[in-house]
């Protein structure tokens, strides 16, 4: 059974509670599991992929479930940061499900890849910070999924690469566009042309990931680092985080003058907020601010 798991950490409940919602899709299921606990984890959502029998390979049903999970997060104002991880040891996502792909008629392939691209784009366009925790294999579409996240962290033993040219195709879920934006055109071309696979240290050296960690015995070093980063993001103003992401994303696609105009427009969105006034008051009163995203 393929499963997408949403672990939602919230601040306001003093006791642990469990909420489950199962939506059956054929022989598969979308599981939303909310973990409520009192503590500093308010607003962190962990989106976990669990398709162990296929190394989290991207299938039709997995895309349906991932799309539904992402749609549920788009408009949730309580969400502050999203971590994308694997629930399968040693694997982030092995890319396309080739066993399923080989059974597709050629007329089906293009539309299906378009669906994958759309879901990956939806992840890239989520309004809050996203972190990819790569504790294992991330190939093809798996790396494209990680590239759609704002921050990437990986274990040193993780393997990453856009390997599609080995199959006489090209990356189809944004890899040809996001990889050069992340590491530069020349190196991105080299990696795609060669279908080279990098380990965590090599990925860090070229700027593909922000942090590389020695893997621990639990196999979740990258996930733990992602949690640390998410906790570091949490105290900041929610509105500011959203418009900062918007300013950076849109500004990177235009010239500097236009980018500065985008920054000005985004800054203007923070001026009338209650959070901005709360930040000034908290500074005056020498206490931590209590932001509400308003």
pLDDT of residue 15: 23
pLDDT at 6: 59
pLDDT, residue 7, reads: 58
DSSP single-letter state for residue 208: S
Query: Which of residues 164 and 23 earns the better pLDDT score?
Result: 164
Average pLDDT over residues 262-268: 97
Residue 32 pLDDT > 70, yes or no? no
**61-116 confidence digits (pLDDT tens):** 899 999 999 998 988 888 999 999 999 999 999 999 899 898 989 999 999 999 99
Question: In this predicted model, what pLDDT tens digit does every residue of 178-218 receive, in sequence order?
Answer: 999 999 999 999 999 999 999 999 999 999 999 999 999 99
Q: Per residue in 228-240, pLDDT tens?
A: 999 999 999 999 9
Domains and CATH numbers, the chain: 22-234 (3.90.226.10), 238-285 (1.10.12.10)
In which band, very low, low, confident or very high, does the pLDDT at 283 lie, cut at 50, 70 and 90?
A: very high
Indicate the angle between helix axes 256-270 and 238-251, nearest 10 degrees: 170
Report which DSSP code applies to 138. E
Reply yes or no on whether the pLDDT at 24 is more than 70. no
Taking the C-alpha atoms of 29, 35, 40 and 41 in order, what is their torsion angle to the nearest 10 degrees?
0
**Per-residue pLDDT band at 12 (split at 50, 70, 90):** very low
pLDDT for residue 22: 28
Cα–Cα distance, 277 to 138 (Å, whole number): 43
CB atoms within 10 A of CB 24: 9
Under DSSP, the state recorded for 131 is: E
pLDDT of residue 29: 34
Residues 6 or more apart whose CB falls under 8 angstroms from that of 120 comprise: 141, 144, 145, 148, 173, 174
Condensed to tens digits (0 to 9), the pLDDT of residues 127-157 reads 999 999 999 999 999 999 999 999 999 999 9
pLDDT surpasses 50 at 17? no
Contact 42, 9 (CB under 8 A): yes
Q: Which residue has the higher pLDDT, 5 or 151?
A: 151
pLDDT at 10 over 60: no
CA distance 115 to 62: 11
Joined together, the tokens standing for residue 53 give 């029998």
Is it the case that residue 18 has pLDDT exceeding 60?
no
- Catalytic residue set: 96, 141, 144, 164
Q: What is the sign, positive or negative, of the torsion defined by CA atoms of 55, 118, 3, 92?
A: positive
């Amino acid at each position: 059974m393929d499963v997408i798991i949403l672990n939602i950490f919230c601040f306001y409940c003093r006791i642990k509670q469990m909420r489950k919602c199962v939506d059956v899709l054929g022989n598969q299921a979308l599981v939303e599991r909310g973990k409520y606990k009192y503590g500093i984890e308010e607003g962190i959502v962990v989106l976990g992929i669990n398709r162990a029998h296929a190394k989290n390979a991207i299938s039709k049903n997995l895309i349906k479930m991932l799309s539904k999970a992402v749609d549920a997060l788009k408009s949730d104002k309580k969400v502050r940061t999203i971590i994308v991880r694997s629930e399968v040891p040693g694997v982030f996502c092995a890319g396309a499900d080739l066993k399923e792909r080989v059974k597709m008629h050629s007329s089906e392939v293009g539309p299906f890849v378009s669906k994958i691209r759309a879901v990956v784009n939806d992840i890239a366009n989520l309004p809050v910070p996203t972190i990819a925790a790569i504790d294992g294999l991330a190939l093809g579409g798996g790396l494209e999924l990680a590239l759609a996240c704002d921050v990437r962290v990986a274990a040193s033993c993780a393997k990453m690469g856009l390997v599609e040219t080995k199959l006489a195709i090209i990356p189809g879920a944004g890899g040809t566009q996001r990889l050069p934006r992340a590491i530069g055109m020349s190196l991105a071309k080299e990696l795609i042309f060669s279908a080279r696979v990098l380990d965590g240290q090599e990925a860090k050296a070229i700027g593909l990931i922000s942090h590389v960690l020695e893997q621990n015995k639990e196999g979740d070093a990258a996930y733990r680092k992602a949690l640390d980063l998410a906790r570091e993001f949490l105290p900041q103003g929610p509105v500011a985080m959203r418009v900062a992401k918007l300013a950076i994303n849109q500004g990177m696609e235009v010239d500097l003058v236009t980018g500065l105009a985008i920054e000005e427009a985004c800054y203007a969105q923070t001026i009338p907020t209650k959070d901005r006034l709360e930040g000034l008051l908290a500074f005056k009163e020498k206490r931590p601010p209590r932001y509400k995203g308003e």
